[in-house]
Structure 1
Amino acid sequence: MDTKEILKFCLEKGLLLDKDLLTFFSEELDSDSFKIIIEKIKQATGQKIITKELFEENKERVESFFSGISKESREKLKIRLGLTIEISKEIEKRVQINEGSAKMKRAEKELEGVKILSMHCLPGKKFDVEDFVNFYRTRFNEMKRVIQEKPAMDNPISIDKLNGAKQGVSIIGMVFDKKTTKNKNILIEVEDLTGKIKILVNQGKEELFKKAEEIALDSVIGFKCSGNKDILFANEIIFPETSLLERKKSPNEEHAVFISDVHYGSKNFMKENFDRFIDFMNGNLGNSQEALKIKYLFIVGDLVTGIGNYPHQERDLAIKDLEDQFTGISEFLGKLRKDLKIIISPGNHEGVRLMEPQPLYDEKYAWALYDMDNVILTENPAMLNIGAEKDFSGFNVLLYHGFSFPFFVDNVPRLTKERAMNSPDKIMEYLLKHRHLAPTHGSAQYFPGLKDIHFIKDIPDIFVSGHTHKSAITYHNNILVISGSSWETLTPYQEKFGNTPDHCKVPLLNLKTREVKILDFE
């Protein structure tokens, strides 16, 4: 950005800018990013002179000031300013909820009846091998605690405590390797923080063998065995999954609906169908009494179709600019009644990084959504609570777009055989069994952060995904499992991979009765 343009903008806003900052901004930022940042600083501090000292005095706000620029530029700025910022959980919470500009507040605010439970913090550093080691150690310890609490898991011991022949021994391990022997048995090698051991699962134990076939690499599993320090023989396999004791019911007659994969901006976007959906939500089509009880709309990824996501995507685009796509879909969502709470998480297509946790939409492109008072933007994955009040704990809703799904369909024989990309509820049940959204390394791109963001620590009442473009609903251990359909007709690229999408199917959940119905706008 030209220094003259920077000075002109600051003059118009009644601001003075430090010379060093002027040089940095001119080298690192485009015009739109600079203007967003200056507005945030002005609104948050009220200062008219922007200097290095201003940042020293507002260290806890720096992340929110510069959330609109690339991570690389953000780190360069911190170095240039001489700032070393350690964002503790408390600081992170203040940054995400209480600080920043008005637009950031609107993006991460808590509307009445909606509370964001997950806020992911990534360390501002380059990752190395040691980070991955610590990451997996943390995952192991967290999941070990979960399995230890299960009644079936009595007195587990560490692998280095195995010695002579034992008839009843319990261990908890992370799956290092799994293979089929020449005798068609399954040999699983597991490790804990003290060592490794091989566990044989005999094909003659039919139910146990089926369980072993389901085990994902890198997952943490409990085993009850016999054997010795050289090899163990499995008698029981304990997954970390858990059950909800009941299906909670709200004291209020309220509804929630769930959609995904709108793909606005595509030539194949089903505009007329989406118009009908909006008419219904506003009480102008069909059962208006039912529609007006809808309080929550969840959109679980791929709200817009984006640009450059696959080869020659430009051929499939009606709108070839990402900002225009976000502006256009915001106009659609702006037609919805204002008492409706709209919760939106990202997917593969909206111009955010693929590595998870995926951040909020870039305000530079999605500013129109940030301007909507009834919209909450979240990360992916995300956990939220809706409908809580004084004597009711509300519903915990887990949102995950589903990037890891194809990996498990390709690598788990049962899911491959059942063509589970057409039955995504089976994939979701598989992940709930492992209590993890991407248990195998390589199933999703991720940062080895301070905690494993894919570990399902708190059991949700509702688990919602998208990505497959297939509609599915089921219950798994009293957890409602929902997969969203698509609002984009079959593209040539999808057809090449044999996709058979469902269109315009909208699950509606009555939070008081827990009745679920599918609304069809196709």
Structure 2
Amino acid sequence: MDQKEILKFCLENGLLLDKDVLNLLSETNDLESVKLIIKKIRGDSQKKVITKTLFEKNKGEIEKVISSFPIENQKKLKIKLGLSIEISKETSIIEEEIDPVRAENKNHLGVKVLSKTPPLGKKYVMADFVTHFKNRFKDMRAILQDRSELKNLVSINKITSSSQGISVIGIVSDKKVTKNKNILLEIEDLTGKINVLVNQNKEELFEKAQDIALDAIIGFRCVGNREILFANEIVFPDTGITERKKSPVEEYALFVSDIQIGSKICMEDNFSKFIEYLNGDVADTPEIEKIKYLFLVGDVVEGVGIFPQQERELKIRDLEGQFSKLAELLGKIREDITIIISPGNHDGVRLAEPQPLLDEKYAWPIYNLKNVIITSNPALVNIGAKTGFDGFNVLLYHGFSYPYYADTVPKFIEHGDAMNNPVIIMEYLLKHRHLAPTHASSQQIPYEEDGLMIKIDPDIFVSGHTHKMDMSYYNNILVMSAATWEKQNKFQERMGNRPDFCKVPMLNLKTREVKILDFEDLPEEEKEQVTLEVSK
């Protein structure tokens, strides 16, 4: 809305507006509503200058004014004026409107969100971190203590002066190489600390020890005493399933990430071609009727203020505008395809993980789409459940922690190109049963329950962030990294990242066949025509 119209109204009524209030009101794009709000504040306060403080003091009265508007206008105005969070505690208007697309455990078009949405932040103190790690330890110990390899399991404070053939479970608080080239681990449980030595002469064991992440919770079969233990076996909490499920019905799930709407180098035309394909506007594509699920695994928009001078690289310079454009594109997709969106670090949510749902203040156009389900990051989603078939559990994690492990895990450093082969990092984290086991690997919020721990073994694990399309099986779990829809930027070029563009894995839930759809602008003879029966 043109701010001049608001100022003209204020001058006609002998009022002055604080600049912050003017900016806030102009975002609503509804002059008549703004006039009513200004009149209400003026009438109640008898002030001639409406400041931000006065506006805040009158939020309750503003809410009453907005509540008299048509319901379809209320939500948008409340969001624009920063009222939605406050009001949602007292009324159910916003929750009722959002419930069809984002409520936990709501079965919507064959999709069920199994993970919890992380709560809003608060001020955290050291005690919160202690509780967080204690609970993580208890949950991981409950999994490890059932492993047959860990016989004669004892707590650290129960280790005697000559313990033979015992097992312990501990969180790895320190890891170093001794002067004799052995690995010395300091581990702790709820009862105490102890050192565990892994001899370099035990090559297979030593290789396992090199893989251990700091802060990981690991089981050890050892000999030794209360001064030091010598490892004979290392047991990771690990993940895995007994079989590769197949649906009784032929349906397809597609996986997309890093669309980066709003970037000058976003390949929007290519994404539009993908949408045309989904809608049946491409010849000889009978399979499209069986496409039922489309996953967007983070960085759906380019964001604002993500890195210095980013504004130079933006085609759309505000978050709301970026989400509006995304909604315009997604709104063209036929409504019998369910779109599941989880956020990434570009999407206007906090960087600290677990990340909450997309912020409705900016992403409200997405919330208005009927066939969209919005989740947190990470998230566990069930799709394809039928009578007599429990469906597929899909673990979504954008992948913000991956660069840390590419740069710190010895085998990835030796590999030298882990970020261009992201499934090896994803398998590493599945082995640890945690998406960011080392606290320093990502910004983490110390909730009582660790939202980054993998408590339920998924059938499918999907990520983005690296802009690479990669795929494998790990203990029968389909591991998949999605491609990007943004051209290579200067940072990626400098870091040696080689993105894959406009490629979409399409998983047949009945046969487990994966076909790669390619929407990159290349001559047909240069395009990859790939159908995969992924195996490992």
2:418 is aligned, of 417, 420, 428, to 420
Task: Indicate if the aligned counterparts of 1:10 and 1:16 stay in contact, CA closer than 8 A.
Answer: no
Residue range with higher mean Cα deviation, 141-150 or 304-313: 304-313
Q: Tell me the equivalent position of 1:382.
A: 379
Number of the residue aligned with 1:466: 464
In 2, the alpha carbon distance for the partners of 1:313 and 1:333 equals: 25
SS state of the match for residue 431, structure 2? helix
Stretches of structure 1 that go unaligned for 5 or more consecutive residues are 47-64, 86-93
Residues 311-350 of structure 1 mapped to structure 2, 5 A cutoff: 311-350=308-347
Q: 1:265 to 1:358 in 2, by over 3 A?
A: same
The CA distance in 1 between the partners of 2:378 and 2:345, in whole Å, is: 12
Instruction: Find 2:435's aligned residue among 434, 437, 440.
Output: 437
Query: Which amino acid letter does the alignment assign opposite residue 193 of structure 1?
Result: L
* Cα separation, 2, equivalents of 1:493 and 1:475: 30
**Aligned AA for 1:102?**
E
Residues 1:298 and 1:265: Cα distance change in structure 2 (over 3 Å): same
Hey, what's the Cα distance between the residues in 2 that align with 1:288 and 1:402?
Answer: 32
For residues 275 and 126 of structure 1, what CA distance do their matches in structure 2 show? 43
Q: Which residue of 2 aligns with 1:50?
A: none
Provide the residue aligned with 1:409 in structure 2.
406
Specify the structure having the higher radius of gyration (Cα): 2
Partners of 1:123 and 1:449 within 8 A in 2: no
Distance 1:197-1:353 versus aligned 2 partners, 3 A rule: same
Q: 1:144 to 1:132 in 2, by over 3 A?
A: same
Amino acid at match of 1:468: T
Q: What is the alpha-carbon distance in structure 1 between the residues aligned to residue 133 and residue 80 of structure 2? A: 31
What is the distance in 2 between the residues matched to 1:428 and 1:348?
18
The size of the alignment, in residue pairs, is: 483
Task: Tell me, yes or no, if structure 1 residue 361 matches structure 2 residue 358.
Answer: yes
**Shift in Å at residue 110 of structure 1?**
3.8
C-alpha distance 42-122 of structure 1, shift in aligned 2 (>3 A): farther
Alpha carbons 1:472, 1:482 under 8 Å: kept? yes
* 2:531 alignment counterpart: none
Task: Give the Å deviation of 1:10.
Answer: 9.1
Instruction: Please give the residue correspondences for 1:184-263 in structure 2 after superposition, counting only pairs within 5 Å.
Output: 184-263=181-260
Aligned-pair Cα RMSD in Å: 3.5
AA partner of residue 433 (structure 1): K
C-alpha distance 358-69 of structure 1, shift in aligned 2 (>3 A): farther
Structure 2 equivalent of residue 51 of structure 1: none
Distance 1:137 1:335, change over 3 A: same
Gaps of 5+ in 2: 1-20, 521-536
> Shift in Å at residue 36 of structure 1?
13
- 154 and 286 in structure 1: CA distance in 2 versus 1, 3 angstrom threshold: farther
- Quick one: structure 1 residues 121 and 298, their matched pair in 2 at CA, closer, same or farther if it must change by over 3 Å? closer
Structure 2 partner of 1:168 = 165
1:100 paired residue number: 95
Q: Structure 2-normalised TM-score?
A: 0.82
Residues 140-181 of structure 1, C-alpha deviation per residue, up to 9 Å, x if partnerless?
000000001112122310000011222201000000101111
CA displacement 1:200-249 (0-9 Å, x = unmatched) = 10111111011000000000000000111111110000000132010111
- Give 1:137's match in structure 2, choosing from 90, 113, 134: 134
* Aligned residue in 1 for 2:113: 116
Q: Which residue of 1 aligns with 2:175?
A: 178
How far residue 420 of structure 1 moved from its aligned partner, in angstroms, is: 0.8
Give SS of 1:463's match: strand
Q: 1:439 to 1:102 in 2, by over 3 A?
A: same
- The equivalent residue for 1:88 is none
- Aligned-residue offset at 1:42: 8.5
1:399 correspondence with 2:396? yes
Render the CA deviation track for 1:384-410: whole Å, top value 9, x for unaligned.
111112211111111000010011111
Tell me which moved more, 300-309 or 311-320.
Answer: 311-320
Question: What amino acid is the match of 1:393?
Answer: D
The separation in 2 between residues aligned to 1:340 and 1:40, in whole angstroms, is 36
Tell me what 2:266 maps to: 269
Percent identity over the alignment is 52
> For residues 14-43 of structure 1, what are the alpha-carbon distances to aligned partners after superposition, in whole Å with 9 as ceiling and x for unaligned?
x999979x9999544999xx7899569996
Q: Secondary structure at the match of 1:176?
A: strand
- Counterpart of 1:486 in structure 2 is 484
Cα distance in structure 2, aligned partners of 1:69 and 1:157 = 57
What is the TM-score with the length of structure 1 in the denominator? 0.84
Structure 1 residue 286: Cα displacement: 5.2
Q: Do the aligned partners of 2:355 and 2:378 also contact (CA within 8 Å) in 1?
A: yes
Counterpart-to-counterpart distance in 2, 1:436 and 1:417:
23
Shift, 1:499, TM fit:
2.0
1:446 to 444, 448, 451: 444
